[in-house]
Amino acid sequence: MKIIKRIVLAILIIIAIGLLFRGWFYRNLIIYKSVGQRTNYLVTDRKLADYIELSVGEKKDPDIKDIIKLSLSITSHQLNFTASRNYNDPNKLIYSKTAHCVGYASFFATTCNYLLKKYELGGTWTAKPQIGQLYFLGTNINKFFKSSFFKDHDFVTIENKAACEIFAVDPTLNDYFYIDFVTYK
């Protein structure tokens, strides 16, 4: 009985560590590489602009990481994942509220660029939706799937045009696992 209690305790500790450090583990095991870019949409629908403005509230002078995290939050609150065909244009996603990774990436990038412009960081920073491949410990995992749905995975890079600084996020991953930043090479 004493051995069983120790085993259960060890399993619980391992699970707790895994949950607490899931972002660190993910960033150190999975690398995103871009194989192309997607269309970068502008906010043209009034409902989308109003939704973003309402979600922002009274935030004053956020830095780039605050804007990224706010954009991730807005995206995850608005969208639900679907594997079926759907819109990619955020101006239509505001109504459909369902998307796959392409829609998540375009909605996030549009929201982020809107906020960058709002807070006067748009001249320095830009968010770009990327078509990506995922590598687990250096091995491309997309090649192991037969379905065309898994041939690639969209994510977003947020780039500083002057300093060549780049942040990468996966809005779909963030929605389900609360992992904000990912490793991009």
Tens-digit pLDDT string for the chain (185 aa): 788 888 887 888 888 887 788 888 889 999 999 999 999 999 999 999 999 999 887 778 899 999 999 999 999 999 988 888 888 999 999 999 899 889 999 999 999 999 999 999 888 999 999 999 889 998 888 777 776 656 788 999 999 988 889 999 999 988 888 898 999 98
Domain ranges of the chain: 31-184
CA distance 123 to 21: 34
Domain 31-184 matching CATH 1.10.150: the answer reads no
CA distance 33 to 22: 20
pTM of this structure: 0.88
CA distance 33 to 136: 11
Q: Contact at 8 Å (CB) between 14 and 7?
A: no
With a CB cutoff of 8 Å and minimum separation 6, the contacts of 147 are none
| Strand duo 125-136 + 30-37: pairing | antiparallel
With a CB cutoff of 8 Å and minimum separation 6, the contacts of 143 are none
